[in-house]
Amino acid sequence: KKEEQKIILVPTLKNAVLILYGYLLIGGMSILALSMLLTLENQNLITFIAWGMGLMLFFLMNITLIVNKTVKVIKR
């Protein structure tokens, strides 16, 4: 019988700090751009495109912030 094992990747402290900083920075900017988009009287296309790009950066944060190849692996 083949047992399925779960693998958990634990980042180093430097990566964890960079990920949290990136989430706060780009997530905050995305929320700020969304609030600007909703409160401006004339909603322009440039603000909408900037909000979409910021949101894309926020969703791709886990892929881009892995800067080194040292991670700890926990098998369960």
Tell me if 37 sits within 8 A of 48, measured CB to CB.
yes
Check residue 26 and give its pLDDT. 80
pLDDT at residue 1 tops 60: no
pLDDT tens digits, 3-54: 777 777 777 787 788 888 888 888 788 788 788 878 877 767 777 887 788 7
pTM (predicted TM-score): 0.57
How far is Cα 76 from Cα 74, in angstroms, rounded to an integer?
Answer: 7
Check residue 39 and give its pLDDT. 83
Distances (CA, A) of 50 to 3, 26, 58: 46, 12, 12
Residue 1 lies in a domain: no
Residue 2 lies in a domain: no
What domain range includes position 17? 7-75
Check residue 62 and give its pLDDT. 64
User: Number of structural domains, the chain?
Assistant: 1
